[in-house]
Amino acid sequence: FGGKTSHSAILARALEIPAVVGLSNLPEDISDDTDILLDGEIGEVIILPTDNEKSDYENKKKNYDTNKEMLKKYRELPSISKDGKKVEIAGNIGSPEDAKKVIENGGEGIGLFRTEFLFMDRDCMPTEEEQFESYKEVAAVMEGKPVIIRTLDIGGDKEIPYMGIVQDENPFLGYRAIRLCLDRKDDIYIPQLRALLRASAFGNIKIMLPLITSMDEIREAKALISDIKKELDEKNIAYNKNIEVGIMVETAAASLLADIFAKEVDFFSIGTNDLIQYTMSVDRGNVKIAGLYSPFSPAVLRSINRIITEAKKAGIMVGMCGEAAADPLLIPVLLAWGMDEFSMSASSILKSRQIISGCDSKDLKAKADKVLEMSTESEIKEYLKKLTEELGC
């Protein structure tokens, strides 16, 4: 069910469970004991494989395991390109337990803590204290490394029945994320922001606002944070007084207003999963139009380039926490354009570090900029395949 960036697919990647989505025309007579091969890398399922196919996949699995073992040498190495450009490779998580996997894989921080998972699979709202303990635990696991925590992003493909949210006709365009939180300050947003601020006393926590489309949303959220800081001061409760507040840049509006937003926030994190969806007007969970959903779209890449450029002009950090951040074809381009942080599933960290260590960002700049002149996805993809072959990635 859904596309490769759907909630279920993201969970499968985080848990390192091989999965294939968007399958059609499967025989109805498949039983629990039917022999199948599942290839999560190319999105293919082979029903009743032949002996030769089984042998081929046994060899593929051996090669996969060998390569995974080889990548372990990058665990303790910094993320530095050939020309000395230092970037940060961080992890996307949904729970404190996930943070441990990021550390095990050599992650240099948390680029996205999806806090909605703390609200899911339960019958009532997590208390401020429960949230505080979760945020504090992640900060402790990361031992001073940056931890970017996204405030509640509910809606779209993530529903929470006990919140009493009426289903929108177009859930991805409706009452979700920052819109929901600013509308329900007392029972949702203030407790979460207070928990985040309290937890910031125990580590390098940063607050990230999702689905921003206007300056009013940023200023209203920041005003709320300021009010909570005053309340904590009055009660002598510790918190990081200089906590950074940034935004997810994941809408066409945020991309077009990146130059203005960059003057108001401390960092950008490009959420490509939604940015692609909103830029291309394509439901990322609809398999019938999955071909339109691609990070290699000329419009998407131009948007990403603009966001990075405006962040660099303003002198703020710019990262990426969508699935595209770990794409082997895109990493060299993003590096050349000036991306500071790449955040991904823990299992992708070491491979991404290997790719970055083999790139010369200065030498790549002109080559990366060529994609901005291209007019089709297929042209861009073919060009980037040749570029990565040339780099030996």
**Active site residues per annotation:** 7, 321
Within 13 Å and on the Cβ side, how many CA atoms surround 140? 9
Q: Which residues lie across from 112 on neighbouring strands?
A: 92
Within 13 Å and on the Cβ side, how many CA atoms surround 270? 35
Which letter, b or e, does each residue of 93-110 get, where b requires 16 or more Cβ atoms within 10 Å of its Cβ?
bbbbebbbbbbebbbbbb
Q: Which residues lie across from 114 on neighbouring strands?
A: 150
Q: How far apart are CA 232 and CA 62, in angstroms?
A: 55
Q: How far apart are CA 19 and CA 185, in angstroms?
A: 37
**Other C-beta atoms within 10 Å of 329: how many?**
18
CA angle 233/235/237 to nearest 5° reads 70
Q: How far apart are CA 165 and CA 158, in angstroms?
A: 11
Among 22, 21, 20, smallest CA distance to 37 is for 20
Q: How far apart are CA 267 and CA 249, in angstroms?
A: 10
Judge whether 346 and 91 are in contact, CB under 8 Å.
Answer: yes
Q: How far is CA 320 from CA 178, 234, 240, 326, 330, in A?
A: 19, 37, 24, 9, 11
Judge whether 103 and 141 are in contact, CB under 8 Å.
Answer: yes
Residue with tokens 């051996």: 62
